[in-house]
Structure 1
Amino acid sequence: MKLILFFGTRPEAIKMAPIIHELQMQKIDFKVCVTGQHREMLQQTLNFFNIRPEFNLDLMKKNQRLNDLGSNILRKVDSILENEKPDLVLVHGDTTTAAFTSLAAFHREIKIGHVEAGLRTYNKTSPFPEEINRQLISRMATFHFSPTISAKQNLLKENIEEEGILVTGNTVVDALEFGKRKIEELSNHEISNLTGIPLESLNKFILVTGHRRESFGEGIENLCEAMLEIVKIEKIDFVYPVHLNPNVRDTVYKKLGDINNIHLINPVSYPVMLYLMKNCEFIISDSGGIQEEAPAFNKKILVTRDFSERMEGVEAGFSILVGTQRDKIIREASRLLKDSRRSQKLKNPYGDGKAAIRIVRSINDNFGDNQR
């Protein structure tokens, strides 16, 4: 078997890392190609998980349009597929990298394995462009590694053949188990040095992230205004690693750049983010990955989106959909701060940390006789 794993963003790298480690453990031959859809944040994660890609396309450019990025991925990935002639391409989730890599493989009649298959909002603009990306990948993939029963049911409703679907749990839980061991070695003092925030002097803090395209403009402004109001009425700090995209960064620093109790910092490494999640009161975010990671730390999350493809977290009581409505964010944040049951232990709906084992076993079962 000849296998290539393709990814390009930090969340993809985090979720593919356990599969890479399991492939190494099982001594299965494979190669890794990163597109560089994220650059600095991706490299930090590759270093943390000790991943050394055979190919790095380094495609990220400032203010790059999706069509430009997609066409570059399609062209450069096609060249790799032509030279390497893999039996199987493995992609993750719903990024532009995953969608256009899958299209390139499909055009060459190469089998595609889709990790984290079947997530849906059925609203084609939320999240944008991810919802359409993952639906397209599902039409092209042969193997669908679904993180939950609900995700499998979505695929069955779309007439995906059941024999091609495997419920695995989410590999983010596998990655977190590795990451948790690493952050045990970190102290408040070390984290303070890495972030520039005197964490030991903070009483309590809320962790904030935000980067979705559909929130650019008014959505980000509403989030900032909600934070300004919350620090007026609550004894709380905010720690906000601000995404590098200027559509986010310019607005956030203009609104919050010199506000006491709101600590704006550059994007942080994966272990630092885990440390912040572990030690915060709760999280406000539009991130899909953080919706899956928060339950591992038993943290509630206010999801600044109107729709979520991760409704298991909502049903389990971890996630609360607030959209980008200023008043709703303020109301729910204040309620959580006063809720004495916030730390009550809830069951993680995203798996048992053995997803990578199941995925690699399935790959081996399907291609093991042809290993090289």
Structure 2
Amino acid sequence: MKQRRKIMIVFGTRPEAIKLAPVIHELERRADAFQTVNISSGQHRHLVQPVITLFRLRIDHDFALQRHDQQPDDVSDRVIARLIPHLNHESPDLLLVQGDTSTAVGAAVAGSLMQIPVGHIEAGLRSGDDMRPFPEEIHRKRITKLASYHFAPAVNNRSNLLSEGVPDSRIFVTGNTIVDSLMKVLRGHTASLRIDRIIAETSMLKRIVLTMHRRENIPQLERTFLALRRFVNENKDVCLVFPVHPNPAVRQSAEILRGEARIRLIEALGYSDFIHLLLHAWAVVTDSGGIQEEAPTLGKTVLLFRAKTERPEALATGTVQLIGDSPDALRLALENLKVRGPLRGSLRSKTNPFGNGGSAQAIVDIVENLWEGTHESIESALFQRAQRADRIRADSV
């Protein structure tokens, strides 16, 4: 009889939960091969809980670590302290972490200390600047040094890892699991009445969807938001919808947007509602990481409010424009967009560089074969044209 392997999965933020959900489900689907232990650190407890509910994730342990005004190192240290006893008790065969959060790096450290192999999902992203984004770029590099297995979303990420001395035999190009989750939401969930109402009430306007929360952008948020307010005020056919991040600094700066009839400040949305809002966007202004993957998959124009990106694949789609991180650059990019129209990307005619929705299956296939010592090449299959998100979108709205 085949031995069941115990896999521990640790996450604590909304993006981690979204991207790990399809992996968790695929592991659970193969109950004859795997036993899973799912741990939430509670790093961003109020943001992650709706994702846990949406994807019906079983949580075996919740550390509830969130504190007011918490710092990245504090979170990592508390994750290490809380996780080590569980690793000692459970003795998993593999510990899976995702991305570049304080939870991920803390879990990777704990796994390394307990000599548990660590698998890093979304490995190999690099911006080339430790301060942009901070501290994520530092976290990524640290996790790379600790991980035994590296699940890289794209070929470029594999090249980054190879350049840092990671053995080729430990790197697997799997696509990005965000596409799996995005397609699941489009197929199986509809927008709430709240989002339907916003869409109906702005039906004659060009909708700009705004997300902004990066630590490095906070010092200039008020000037950035003022530039957006002026653009909306001067263009009567434009509106702005801003799901405001709960970060107190973001919320305080967002007050400068109040009082303009065509600007809507709303509370942070659940993942399904946010995706359905993106579906109806004329353009997206963001400093986010994940939206660089989601919006191009949906064929949406993105003005990326950053100086650098760790996702050059997004720029290559033609739908994402790296505009820099100054309010003046944002204003100019919006004015150009208004004149020239939305960016015309390449995903309608080419494959999605983030995968085709089969990334979780690819990752679990590899994990299942780790103890067999065999790994078939999956790169070509993952990036073949599948049912495109824009086609699913047309069936969903």
Q: Same fold (TM over 0.5)?
A: yes
Asked if 1 retains the 8 angstrom alpha-carbon contact of 2:175 and 2:355, the reply is: yes
1:89-238 alignment, distance < 5 Å: 89-183=95-189, 185-186=190-191, 189-192=193-196, 197=198, 199-202=200-203, 203-218=205-220, 220-234=221-235, 235-238=237-240
| Greater alpha carbon shift after TM alignment, 160-169 vs 313-322 | 313-322
Alpha-carbon offset, residue 77 of structure 1: 1.1
- Which residue of the partner structure matches residue 70 of structure 2? 64
The yes-or-no answer on 1:244 pairing with 2:246 is yes
Asked if 1 retains the 8 angstrom alpha-carbon contact of 2:318 and 2:345, the reply is: no
Alpha-carbon offset, residue 201 of structure 1: 3.7
Q: Distance in 1 between matches of 2:36 and 2:147?
A: 19
One-letter amino acid of the counterpart of residue 363, structure 1? V
Alpha-carbon offset, residue 192 of structure 1: 4.4
- Which residue of the partner structure matches residue 279 of structure 1? 280
- Which residue of the partner structure matches residue 6 of structure 1? 10
> What do the CA deviations read for 1:136-178 (whole angstroms, capped 9, x no partner)?
0001101100000000000000010000000000000011110
One-letter amino acid of the counterpart of residue 100, structure 1? G
The gaps in structure 1 that reach 5 residues or longer are none
Match of 2:50 among 11, 20, 44: 44
Alpha-carbon offset, residue 68 of structure 1: 2.0
- Which residue of the partner structure matches residue 20 of structure 1? 24
Q: Distance in 2 between matches of 1:306 and 1:3?
A: 38
Q: Distance in 2 between matches of 1:268 and 1:232?
A: 25
- Which residue of the partner structure matches residue 291 of structure 1? 292
Q: Distance in 1 between matches of 2:359 and 2:83?
A: 27
Q: Distance in 1 between matches of 2:224 and 2:325?
A: 6
Q: After the TM superposition, list the runs of 4 or more consecutive aligned residues in structure 1 that deviate by more than 6 angstroms.
A: none
Asked if 2 retains the 8 angstrom alpha-carbon contact of 1:209 and 1:286, the reply is: yes
> What do the CA deviations read for 1:311-354 (whole angstroms, capped 9, x no partner)?
11112212111222112111111222333463565343211111
Q: Distance in 2 between matches of 1:247 and 1:314?
A: 29
One-letter amino acid of the counterpart of residue 291, structure 1? Q
The yes-or-no answer on 1:335 pairing with 2:341 is no
Taking a change above 3 Å as real, the CA distance of residues 133 and 344 of structure 1, as seen in their structure-2 partners, is closer
How much identity, in percent, do the aligned residues show? 36
> What do the CA deviations read for 1:188-227 (whole angstroms, capped 9, x no partner)?
x45246xxx4643442210000111111122x12320221
Q: Give the RMSD, CA atoms, in angstroms.
A: 1.6
TM superposition score normalised by structure 2: 0.88
Q: Distance in 1 between matches of 2:319 and 2:346?
A: 10
Taking a change above 3 Å as real, the CA distance of residues 130 and 341 of structure 1, as seen in their structure-2 partners, is closer
One-letter amino acid of the counterpart of residue 249, structure 1? R
Q: Distance in 1 between matches of 2:276 and 2:342?
A: 22
> What do the CA deviations read for 1:85-128 (whole angstroms, capped 9, x no partner)?
11110000100000011001101111000000000012111100
With a CA cutoff of 8 Å and minimum separation of 6, indicate the structure with the bigger relative contact order.
1
One-letter amino acid of the counterpart of residue 258, structure 1? G
Q: Distance in 2 between matches of 1:357 and 1:94?
A: 22
One-letter amino acid of the counterpart of residue 20, structure 2? M
The yes-or-no answer on 1:354 pairing with 2:358 is yes
The gaps in structure 2 that reach 5 residues or longer are 374-397
Alpha-carbon offset, residue 231 of structure 1: 0.8
Q: Distance in 2 between matches of 1:79 and 1:345?
A: 49
Q: Distance in 1 between matches of 2:191 and 2:316?
A: 33
Alpha-carbon offset, residue 73 of structure 1: 1.0
| Greater alpha carbon shift after TM alignment, 200-209 vs 237-246 | 200-209
One-letter amino acid of the counterpart of residue 305, structure 2? T
Residues matched between the structures, number: 362
Give secondary structure in 2 for the equivalent of 1:40. helix
Q: Distance in 1 between matches of 2:343 and 2:287?
A: 20
Alpha-carbon offset, residue 232 of structure 1: 2.4
- Which residue of the partner structure matches residue 38 of structure 2? 32
Give secondary structure in 2 for the equivalent of 1:258. coil
Q: Distance in 2 between matches of 1:55 and 1:341?
A: 45
